[in-house]
Structure 1
Amino acid sequence: MDFNIWATAGIVLVSAVTFALGFRSSRQANTTQDFLVARRTVRSRRNAAAVSGEYLSAASFLGVAGLVLKDGADALWYPIGFTAGYLALMLFVAAPLRRSGAYTLPDFCEFRLRSAGLRRLAAVFVIFIGMLYMVPQLQGAGLTVRHILPGVPTQVGAAVVAVLVVANVVGGGMRAITLVQAFQYWVKLFAIAAPAFVLCALFIGGGGARGIGATGLSEPLPPTFTRDAVIQVETSVVLSVDAHVRLVAEGTVDGRPADGTTLWGPGEHEVAAGSTLRFTEGSPVPVVKGAVGDNADWQSPASDAEDLLTTYSLIFALFLGTMGLPHVLVRFYTNPDGQAARRTTLHVMLLLGLFYLFPTIMGALSRVYLPELLVTGQSDRAVLELPMAVVDNVFGEILGAVVAAGAFAAFLSTSSGLLVSVAGVLSTDVFKSRVRDFRLAAALAGVLPLTAALLLQPSDLSLSVGMSFALAASTFCPVLVLGIWWRKITWVGAAAGMLTGGTLVLTALALTTVSGYTGGWAPWFVQQPGLFTVPLSFLAVIIMSKATHRHIPAETKHIRMRMHAPDRLGLIKDRATGLGDSRAKHVLGRHRR
């Protein structure tokens, strides 16, 4: 792809506005409460937009469309799970969590179970989840910059996002990023919705500038190339072929040198990195191993036992993982009371449901216009490349610029929330809870994921984030749900559950990472472990709590009354944080819906 001046201008504009809004808001941040919870004065609608802006990450903006392109109907569980998790959050967690008066997830664990050791363990898992979630954001930023600036290393985009995010968070913490994230939600919605409407209109009206008909997905056959295609294979892939395909190959194919016309029969064919494949218009599209081959299967959900179990495991991780994501839960601490926290959650579901319509549409259109991404396995590029694939002129470049700007907003907003949650835990549990400690923690928390993003091999963005959800569902979800609704939980049981679920998921993550470098041998329950790790974590909490019932805190009745009593009784009281900043007294500002 050639240099796109429009996309470059869009990314620069979004970055500049992000920095300007963050700088403007940071001037009002001068206490630790400003940095941690924005003085708990964020109104419901703005907070809902900020939560949505933070939540719609690279996995949502780029990854969902890529998975729809590759996996079809089965990929729809991702947007469903991403949104439905907020229903459980609204029903079981949001209001009691806010009424606890805690500042961070570890702070809640200590408040509920009166254990400093459990707080330290929770802090470790908050850092793990934050780092694991932030790495794909930075990798997605590198992918976007490389797409619009050919020849520029992916490390540049990752570094730009890291620097911008650290600057905003260091400048004003939660108070600075709230307005930024609310603004970025609307940027992302426009950036995905406007191109989707235009491209759908062109598709229905005659296939766009390339004149492709609107029947591409109706045939129960493998997708075909809509034009002659020259594909550069950047990483080694194994391709599945359902029908005979004639192509011109240069490089290493099936372990042998290739330089000329070749005929692939049905089966699997290995293509080494650096090879070039040339296909003619109308040829069946080989797909990367594991992707859905023909359109009939693409339109139908999985039916065999292994695929069904993988889907159930994914649902477990996404639906329950939302309740345990530290960067999501920290936003509910910014509401003035429990009722506002619940109202915020309802608005979030509406905003997310609206957004996820459009990546699904983009993924379906990519199946028609970008079948070459099924060959390279780089399906995360679908949203970025689709506008030019449909309209190969200046208008297509402008649509591509809008999409690129939205993608960059996704990286910035999610990374900001992750950095605030991790920095908040570091500043309160490792340092002395002062403003300068928060700023130092933010700088440190930005360096580690950037290093990992530069060193690790990129994978499907939604799949990477899915492991973060599995870790959150297997560690914090049981502690939050049982801690809020079960009076007999003890700190020993909570620690046992977190260690059980966390160890299993981190082991699965390590095995999956090694598998990615050594031939992809990991079975489904390693790649999607939530179906087993979440129930085992709940079971560990219950069994160990019953075995250590003497450790039930004496103040349990008072604590539970405070979490569940109506807001009008006035029992909400912020916890003391040991702040070294004398100005950090809580001032409850005026709240509007």
Structure 2
Amino acid sequence: MGPVLNAWAIGGILAVGLATFYIGHRSSRLASTTQDFLVARRTVRSRRNAAAVSGEYLSGASFLGVTGLILKDGADALWYPIGFTAGYLALMLFVAAPLRRSGAYSLPDFVEARLSSRGLRRVATGFVLVIGTLYLLPQLQGAGLALMAIMPAPAWIGAVLVTLVVVINVFGGGMRAITVVQAFQYWLKLFAIAVPTFVLCAVFLGGGDSTVPRDSLSQPTSPTFSKDTTVDITTPVTLDFGEPAWVWVDGSVSDAEPADGPTHMYLRGEQDFPEGTSIRFDAGDPVPVVAGSPVYNSEWLRAGDGGAPQMFTTYSLILATFLGTMGLPHVLVRFYTNPSGKSARRTTMHVLLLLGLFYLFPVLLGALSRLYTPELLVTGETDAAVLLLPDAMLPGIGGQILGAVTAAGAFAAFLSTSSGLLVSLSGVLSTDVLRGRVRDFRIATVIAGIVPLVLAIWLRPGDISLSVGMTFALAASTFCPVLVLGIWWRKLTGIGAAAGMIIGGGLVLAAFVTDIVSGYTGNWAPPLVEQPALVTVPVAFLVTVLVSKATARRIPDDVNRVILRMHAPDPLGFIQDRDVAKFGKGEERLRLGSGKHRR
């Protein structure tokens, strides 16, 4: 069951790539100073910035991963879109306006401004680089998955294509170049997921494929194959045959020796299949699922059927997504581009509306995928559901065109998020590692693009949303405590902030490494390792508070002035950009007055 060449989809991807390059090139012609590259001269209107934030935030985890998780996990996966959206409520209430009023250019710049500590700034720089790199990996790997779903090509080609387009755009104009690009890509992604959803729902309600019962999801049985289907196992997998079935197997099963040619076998319970095995199912056969996923539709429709471990994972996910959003460097850097704290808060409100609208559609596509693409439950490649569903429900030219639309939207998701991440990484590298000039920003862009690309090709890809979930846990366990306490608690010290970041972040990274090792050695890791935020976030907050109280003599002398600047209403005029003279040459600084603030 290999991928079929879809010329329409390839054309759609190329069109998105060219449009992204063209818009970025036109916008980059306005970028001439370091402030243009870092914060678009702080002149981005709230509505445009909201579209850009949404375009940047709606990554492959949103476009592909949410649908794939709904297909596989059902009601339990609904917490992903809820958490991804609700995080902006916390951001709006506690962080957005004070962060903009601080006058900082990046997260490391903010922690130094608030706590007067160069050492803490270096710690923050390290975590920004780690978080940005970890978030870039699933974007690049997802691009490879999307390309493999529409044509017979190795995964690394998609990763290279996204990296190349993004590096060129960011290299040319930094934040100034990608702002318009990301705003355009939000509306493109919304179109690319909304139109196929409406069309496929109409096909479903109109009868669709008569071999697929429309009420089968409400039955307490396993999903079934509507036609004879052959599934090729490309990575070793353990399948759970909840309902026993006779299937044709070409290869080996569990520890049995492979037979000479296809063999008719009666399988039940959990069975191991190595790479290269081919399984043929007859129409009407129950669908086995990757071990650990809901086998029966009755389990799929009910949340929390996994007992205490499932409950721990769910609450940990909620905490990670809700608090992790305010700690993502590539999200926060966009709020530095607003002209005022009020416009930053207004931007966040618009983002909530745009994200809520978008997330209606992946949930519907996930439910349809369980009916029409059940073979993805066998391979575990559920992230490809959005790309394969149109052709499964609407064979022929109509399905290919819809598939091309979704493929274009998927690549827009990878490009927009990767652009924001690359700007965030390049800004920190250029100002904290290099000398902060435009040339340094461009050197940093190349470095920040190559390193994640190499890692994405080398590491084994996993579920996109699960990988992103770990990144949210890291952001929630490092920057969230520093931001919340730094903005709202006067007694925070640099030593306390550093201790909380190092211990909270260290625990998450240890869990991440353990989870990777577990994936290669039998998946023995407990739920705590797979999603650790429920433990690591409270630990990070507690350590930060306790160490700050123990080092109360190290409270910065200017804390009252900094707190006043962050909380004073904009019309009072306390807002002031930090040390603009540090970045760029004298002639660059003379141009800064020409930018007009717009709402």
Q: Is TM more than 0.5 here? A: yes
Letter in 2 for 1:238: T
For 1:105-504, list aligned pairs within 5 A: 105-150=107-152, 152-208=153-209, 212-256=212-256, 257-258=258-259, 259-303=261-305, 304-504=307-507
Q: What secondary structure, in the 3-state scheme, does the structure 1 residue paired with 2:246 have?
A: strand
Tell me the CA shift for residue 148 of structure 1.
Answer: 1.5
| 8 Å Cα contact 2:244-2:269 kept in structure 1 | no
Aligned residues: percent identity? 63
Tell me the CA shift for residue 242 of structure 1.
Answer: 1.1
Give ranges in structure 2 of 5+ residues lacking alignment. Answer: none
Question: Which of 522, 527, 530 matches 2:525?
Answer: 522
| 8 Å Cα contact 2:42-2:597 kept in structure 1 | no
| 8 Å Cα contact 1:222-1:294 kept in structure 2 | yes
Q: What secondary structure, in the 3-state scheme, does the structure 2 residue paired with 1:244 have?
A: strand
Tell me the CA shift for residue 590 of structure 1.
Answer: 3.6
Letter in 1 for 2:434: F
Tell me the CA shift for residue 18 of structure 1.
Answer: 0.2
Aligned to 1:553: 556
CA deviation vs aligned residue, 1:160-210 (integer Å, no higher than 9, x gap): 1001000000000000000000000000000000000000110111024x6
Tell me the CA shift for residue 344 of structure 1.
Answer: 0.2
Tell me the CA shift for residue 265 of structure 1.
Answer: 4.1
Aligned to 1:580: 584
Tell me the CA shift for residue 146 of structure 1.
Answer: 1.5
Letter in 2 for 1:77: W
User: Could you say if the C-alpha distance between residues 363 and 168 of structure 1 is closer, same or farther in structure 2, counting changes exceeding 3 Å?
Assistant: same
Q: What secondary structure, in the 3-state scheme, does the structure 2 residue paired with 1:266 have?
A: strand
Aligned to 1:47: 49
Tell me the CA shift for residue 415 of structure 1.
Answer: 0.2
Letter in 1 for 2:473: A
| 8 Å Cα contact 2:35-2:583 kept in structure 1 | no
Distance 1:580 1:66 in 2: 45
Letter in 1 for 2:160: A
Letter in 2 for 1:424: G
| 8 Å Cα contact 1:95-1:342 kept in structure 2 | yes
Letter in 1 for 2:509: L
| 8 Å Cα contact 1:40-1:588 kept in structure 2 | no
Letter in 2 for 1:584: R
Q: What secondary structure, in the 3-state scheme, does the structure 1 residue paired with 2:287 have?
A: coil
| 8 Å Cα contact 2:43-2:598 kept in structure 1 | no
| 8 Å Cα contact 1:134-1:415 kept in structure 2 | yes
Distance 1:244 1:430 in 2: 59
Tell me the CA shift for residue 263 of structure 1.
Answer: 3.5
Letter in 2 for 1:154: A
Distance 2:267 2:410 in 1: 39
Aligned to 1:78: 80
| 8 Å Cα contact 1:244-1:263 kept in structure 2 | no
Letter in 1 for 2:517: V
Distance 1:93 1:77 in 2: 23
Distance 1:264 1:194 in 2: 42
Distance 2:248 2:265 in 1: 9
Tell me the CA shift for residue 211 of structure 1.
Answer: 5.1
CA deviation vs aligned residue, 1:394-423 (integer Å, no higher than 9, x gap): 000000000000000000000000000010
CA deviation vs aligned residue, 1:41-99 (integer Å, no higher than 9, x gap): 00000000000000000100000000000000000000000000000000000000000
Letter in 2 for 1:255: D
| 8 Å Cα contact 1:191-1:402 kept in structure 2 | yes
Give ranges in structure 1 of 5+ residues lacking alignment. Answer: none
| 8 Å Cα contact 2:211-2:226 kept in structure 1 | no
| 8 Å Cα contact 2:33-2:584 kept in structure 1 | no
Q: What secondary structure, in the 3-state scheme, does the structure 1 residue paired with 2:270 have?
A: strand
Distance 1:219 1:205 in 2: 21
For 1:25-64, list aligned pairs within 5 A: 25-64=27-66
Q: What secondary structure, in the 3-state scheme, does the structure 2 residue paired with 1:206 have?
A: coil
Q: What secondary structure, in the 3-state scheme, does the structure 2 residue paired with 1:584 have?
A: helix
User: Could you say if the C-alpha distance between residues 545 and 264 of structure 1 is closer, same or farther in structure 2, counting changes exceeding 3 Å?
Assistant: farther
| 8 Å Cα contact 1:169-1:416 kept in structure 2 | yes
Distance 1:483 1:184 in 2: 34
Tell me the CA shift for residue 591 of structure 1.
Answer: 4.0
Q: What secondary structure, in the 3-state scheme, does the structure 2 residue paired with 1:30 have?
A: coil
Distance 1:358 1:592 in 2: 33
| 8 Å Cα contact 1:71-1:291 kept in structure 2 | yes
CA deviation vs aligned residue, 1:221-255 (integer Å, no higher than 9, x gap): 11001111000100000001111111000012112
Distance 2:35 2:596 in 1: 16
Distance 1:450 1:265 in 2: 40
Q: What secondary structure, in the 3-state scheme, does the structure 2 residue paired with 1:238 have?
A: strand
Tell me the CA shift for residue 144 of structure 1.
Answer: 1.1
Tell me the CA shift for residue 264 of structure 1.
Answer: 3.6
Tell me the CA shift for residue 581 of structure 1.
Answer: 2.0
Q: TM-score, normalised by structure 1?
A: 0.98
| 8 Å Cα contact 1:474-1:537 kept in structure 2 | yes
Q: What secondary structure, in the 3-state scheme, does the structure 2 residue paired with 1:268 have?
A: strand
| 8 Å Cα contact 2:288-2:377 kept in structure 1 | yes
Distance 2:525 2:324 in 1: 22
Q: What secondary structure, in the 3-state scheme, does the structure 2 residue paired with 1:231 have?
A: strand
Letter in 1 for 2:48: R
Distance 1:262 1:149 in 2: 31
Tell me the CA shift for residue 2 of structure 1.
Answer: 2.0
Distance 1:17 1:350 in 2: 26
| 8 Å Cα contact 1:317-1:466 kept in structure 2 | yes
Q: What secondary structure, in the 3-state scheme, does the structure 2 residue paired with 1:510 have?
A: helix
Distance 1:149 1:277 in 2: 22
Letter in 2 for 1:184: Q
CA deviation vs aligned residue, 1:95-116 (integer Å, no higher than 9, x gap): 0000000000000000000000
Distance 2:593 2:13 in 1: 37
Letter in 1 for 2:486: G
Distance 1:507 1:386 in 2: 37
| 8 Å Cα contact 1:241-1:264 kept in structure 2 | no
Distance 2:336 2:268 in 1: 56
Question: Which of 78, 92, 95 matches 2:94?
Answer: 92
Tell me the CA shift for residue 592 of structure 1.
Answer: 4.1
Distance 1:368 1:541 in 2: 49
Q: What secondary structure, in the 3-state scheme, does the structure 1 residue paired with 2:262 have?
A: strand
